[in-house]
Structure 1
Amino acid sequence: MFEALGLDADEERVYLALVPVPGATASELSVELGLSVGDAERLLKRIESHGLAARSGTSGRYVAAPPTVALGALLTLARDSLWRAEQGTAALSEQYRAASAARTVGDLVEVVSGPDAVRHRFTQLQQAAESELLAFVTAPTRLVHWSDNPAEREAARRGVRMRLIVERELLEEPGAMDDAERSMAAGEEIRIAESLPIKLVLADRTMALVPLRPNAAEGAVVVHTSMLLDALVALFDACWERAIPLRFRSSSGSPGSSDDEASLVTDMDVKILSLLLTGMTDEAVAKQLDLSARTIQRRIRQLMDLAGARTRLQLGWHASRAGWL
């Protein structure tokens, strides 16, 4: 909770145990927290040095400092440090922009070699994003699987808009639907394409990471502001417009649908329709949703009857128009 203020987990644990009591000795805290008396005494002295506690007379008891005072002081110091870092970053960014006109092609395209270096720059790119992260996710995935990416999830929690275009082949991997559903629940937007030309990550439309070969571990290039970056951004936007949105729940309030009709369309129906629209076969959809192909076909027939559709193409058109997808 208070790592950003310079407290480690043990110091925080001791302070939180001390706050709700009038005072406590190292011996008493050692029993409550399952520590040795020596460890409890060392931790109490450490939080005392942070101004979070004070020894009461000669009794050996420690009393917690008021949180608004003790933690408030640490917050002020942290804010000041962050402000200075922000000002320093802004000044460096201005110098970088001023020098960009004089940069050579080699300065605008940085080559990164080796799996560790590529992974590090990939993580840096996501951590630096302030407003938007865009990505092409192609098969096979390397280094960091598209569904197992802590830096991406942290960016989503910061409010960074996440838009991913995923190759359809990846949806057929075991557990892919569960992974995608968790990502979308965290705020990510996912669209599906039959194929994508390259692997790509774009941060705030100001920097891109592009692997040099299908095996991303061999190396990648980091592209800074340039016409090449503009082309990569335009490529993403064009592919996004053509890709199929992945949906797991029915939309509401769309024109062309009735409440009675919409109430008959379940979330499972929406998953089935969404996957079929990406080009997956009945068998592949059934495998992902842990259903039989016969169940998938029967439910599609029922949806066609509900929509008054004679073909699956008409069903897809009606589903979109009626707000099912």
Structure 2
Amino acid sequence: MTTWTGGSPAFSRPHGDAYEELVSRVYITAVRLGRPTRDALRNEGLRDEEIDDLTAELMARELFLPGIDPDSWQVAPPREAMTRIADRIERRAAMSRATASEVEQLWRAAVGDGRVMEAPGMDLLKGVQDIVDRVRGLHRVAEERLWWAMDASAASCQLLQQAADDPDLLSVRPGADVRVMLDTALLEDEAALRFMERHEAAGHPVRVGNGIPFSLLLCDNRAALLDLSRHDPRGDGSLEARRTGPLLAIGTLLDEIWQLCTPYRATAEAAARAPGSRAPLDQRDLRILNLLTTGASDQLIARQTGVSVRTVERRVRYLMDHLAAATRFQAGVQAVRRGWV
């Protein structure tokens, strides 16, 4: 305990719950007094050292407000002040629960205990490279289903770049149900566009969505992977699950993401396969229209097509006029109806 000494007997400051009880007793006393002063608190049996410590604590907690002089205080309206304190306590409790496992791991590392806390069928992944290796492995073993939603995570970007150099790297055996969903943030990555076009050419549907929260991959009914490396570039917290509950939950989430995403099609190839519905547009306009239907901005379209933003604006206006569309969204709808995308 901390001890103060002065002209009066020493004040031994309690700790933990005992101190909380003392603060509560003094606060209730102050509420009863209405306008607490040093003299009034002395009359309640408190010594100056106790008064100095406890009033400072109550000021820090916003239960007390300064008075007209250093030896007087005002009590803050209790309903508002105590509600604020309850909110802070609840936030601290939630933070404690959320960080308990991480702090446990830090403690184990500090004391030299190398054990990792893991539940059966749940593997914590060890960095971005581990995520990349697991994703590649799940592509190799998938037999019936491989659903993959990608945000612009460190692991996703690394995988897309590797796939650009080796087109067979993320291939899946024939007959598997393959769904690929990419966040619109990846449309700025040329490797991502090549990846989508290869999947479309292979007959695997690709969709694009805005705001995919994190990368998810489901392989058959055997494993699911959560890639959180966009939120922590080191990849900490990412995991692979092989338990029934998480697999069903992740499968449901991926299906919901799929329904919310916009289909992506390689328009030029689609037009070539169906001459009767060929779009009366050149290759550049077809790509602009294709990106337009995914929700891409004019700036992003300009970067991907190698033209100026002003040119994109002109071509988008031309496409909207050509399709009798009042908005960009309507232009996309009309293009889909005509079979151009």
1:202–1:147 CA distance, 2 compared to 1 (3 A): farther
Q: For residues 151 and 159 of structure 1, do their structure 2 counterparts lie closer, same or farther at Cα, with a shift above 3 Å needed?
A: farther
Would the aligned equivalents of 1:147 and 1:183 in 2 still touch at CA under 8 Å? no
- Following superposition, the deviation at residue 174 of structure 1 comes to 5.0
User: What do the CA deviations read for 1:140-189 (whole angstroms, capped 9, x no partner)?
Assistant: 33273324235964533645443221111111135543443344334443
Distance, in Å, in 1 between the alignment partners of 2:161 and 2:203 is 14
Match status 1:317 vs 2:329: no
Query: What residue is the counterpart of 2:134 in the other structure?
Result: 121
Question: So what's the TM-score if we normalise by structure 2?
Answer: 0.55
Partners in 1 of 2:162 and 2:312 — Cα distance?
29
Give the match's secondary structure for 1:217.
coil
Q: Supply the distance in 1 between the matched residues of 2:153 and 2:226 (Cα, whole angstroms).
A: 15
Q: Deviations over 1:223-267 (max 9, x none)?
A: 1141221110000000001101122216469xxx995x7441344
Is residue 271 from structure 1 mapped to residue 287 from structure 2 by the alignment? Answer: yes
> For the structure 1 residues 292 and 114, does the alpha-carbon distance in structure 2 shift closer, same or farther, using more than 3 Å as the test?
closer
- Taking the aligned partners of 1:268 and 1:182, their CA distance within structure 2 comes to 19
Residues in 2 aligned to 1:313 and 1:120: alpha-carbon distance in whole angstroms: 39
Instruction: Say if 1:142 and 1:216, in contact at 8 Å, map to a contact too.
Output: no
Tell me whether 190-199 or 114-123 shows the greater mean CA deviation. 114-123
2:164 corresponds to 1:146: no
Distance 2:221 2:234 in 1: 21
Residue correspondence of structure 1 range 132-171 to structure 2 within 5 A: 132-142=145-155, 144-149=158-163, 150=166, 153=169, 155-156=171-172, 158-171=174-187
* Alignment-derived partner of residue 121 in structure 2: 108
Equivalence map 1:276-315=2 (5 Å): 276-315=292-331
| Residues 216 and 130 (structure 1), Cα distance of their counterparts in 2 relative to 1, 3 Å cut | farther
Give the match's secondary structure for 2:266: coil
Query: Residues 198, 301 of structure 1: CA spacing in aligned structure 2 closer, same or farther, 3 A cutoff?
Result: closer
The aligned counterpart of 2:259 is: 241
Q: 1:148 to 1:227 in 2, by over 3 A?
A: same
Percent of paired sites with the same residue: 29
Moved more, 162-171 or 309-318: 309-318
Quick one: distance in 2 between partners of 1:264 and 1:198? 38
Aligned to 1:230: 248
Indicate if the aligned counterparts of 1:200 and 1:211 stay in contact, CA closer than 8 A.
yes
Residue 198 of structure 1: aligned partner: 214
The equivalent residue for 1:97 is: none
Q: Judging changes above 3 Å, is the alpha-carbon distance between structure 1 residues 166 and 177 closer, same or farther for their aligned structure 2 residues?
A: same
Cα distance in 1, alignment partners of residues 178 and 161 from structure 2: 13
* Deviations 1:182-234 (CA, angstroms, capped at 9, x unpaired): 44334443211111122211111431011355336335322114122111000
- 1:324/1:113 CA distance change after superposition, 3 Å: same
Shift of 1:288: 0.5
* Structure with max Cα Rg: 2
TM-score of the pair, normalised by structure 1: 0.57
- How many angstroms apart in 1 are the aligned matches of 2:214 and 2:174? 27
Q: Quickly say closer, same or farther: Cα 1:242–1:147, change in 2 above 3 A.
A: farther
Contact kept in structure 2, 1:208 and 1:222, CA below 8 Å: yes
Paired with 2:225 and 2:183, the residues of 1 have a C-alpha distance of: 18
Secondary structure, counterpart of 2:235 in structure 1: helix
> In structure 1, what residue type is equivalent to 2:137?
Q
Contact kept? 2:228, 2:237, Cα under 8 Å: yes
Find 1:218's aligned residue among 236, 241, 245: 236
Corresponding residue pairs, total: 218
